[in-house]
Amino acid sequence: MLRAEAAWLARRLERVPTEHLSPLLSIGSGHAELRATQPWLERVVYEPLTRRGVQVLHHELNPAPGVDVAGDLTDPGFLERLGKLELRSLMCCNVLEHVPNPEEIAKTIAGLVPAGGYVLVSVPRRYPYHPGPIDTLFRPSVDELRSLFPKLTLVDGAEVRCESLLAYYLASPTKWTSLKRGVRTKAPPQARVPVAETLRMLFLSTTVSAVALRAGP
């Protein structure tokens, strides 16, 4: 997660009463070692939630240290398990571009949040190809991202201007691994951007589409 993106999410979370957030499921948030490569994420997003008494549950596809809930969001059995957790809110950041079926995952997320609960979602808008293990090049506008959740009410949405790729990789050196993987992987033709745009992202800025939504009534 980029630093400006984390700050945007933190500001939106601050406005939501604790009772409407906890327990919060952070979908695809990574294992403990991976989260440690982005120290601002813990400091800006998760630590303030913990201080407020919000129970944060970290989700990943497979069990690992620092993962509270492991499973496939397309598996009915796993969804039944999630239903028993009595979740109040969900966060899904930088995940939908890595799944072949973002519409289905969005529908699942909307179905997990109860009335009065919140969903916060972010997806890269201007960002290079980064397979992890896949990148479908889903780069929605705010309106396109919001349209995946027709039954939820938009509370806020923005295309967040973030740091350059160079600044991001300097802040998190281990992220060079994903960059090198992207370079080594044969990107599909639609992932090949003009040199000028590559330089723009490297030295100027990247952007992220982010929305905060609420389940009715």
How far CA 191 is from CA of 182, 198, 202, in Å, comes to 10, 11, 16
- Residues 75-85, mean pLDDT to the nearest whole number: 96
Which comes out higher in pLDDT, residue 193 or 21? 21
pLDDT of residue 184: 46
Question: Does residue 48 carry a pLDDT above 90?
Answer: yes
**Percent of the chain having pLDDT more than 90?**
71
Contact 4, 71 (CB under 8 A): no
pLDDT digits (tens, 9 = 90+) for 176-206: 555 554 444 556 666 655 656 666 777 778 9
Question: Does residue 50 carry a pLDDT above 60?
Answer: yes
Contact 169, 116 (CB under 8 A): no
Average pLDDT, the chain: 89
What kind of architecture, by CATH, is found in domain 3-215?
3-Layer(aba) Sandwich (3.40)
pLDDT of residue 54: 97
Contact 17, 155 (CB under 8 A): no
Question: Does residue 65 carry a pLDDT above 50?
Answer: yes
pLDDT digits (tens, 9 = 90+) for 145-164: 999 999 999 999 999 999 88
**Percent of the chain having pLDDT more than 70?**
87
Q: How far apart are CA 210 and CA 124, in angstroms?
A: 9
pLDDT digits (tens, 9 = 90+) for 94-150: 999 999 999 999 999 999 999 999 999 999 999 888 887 889 999 999 999 999 999
pLDDT of residue 38: 87
Which comes out higher in pLDDT, residue 179 or 27? 27
Closest by CA to 120, choosing from 5, 3, 2, is: 5
What value, to the nearest 5°, has the Cα angle with vertex 138 and ends 134 and 140? 155
- Domain boundary assignment for the chain: 3-215
Which comes out higher in pLDDT, residue 93 or 134? 93
- Residues 38-59, mean pLDDT to the nearest whole number: 96
Decide: pTM greater than 0.85.
yes
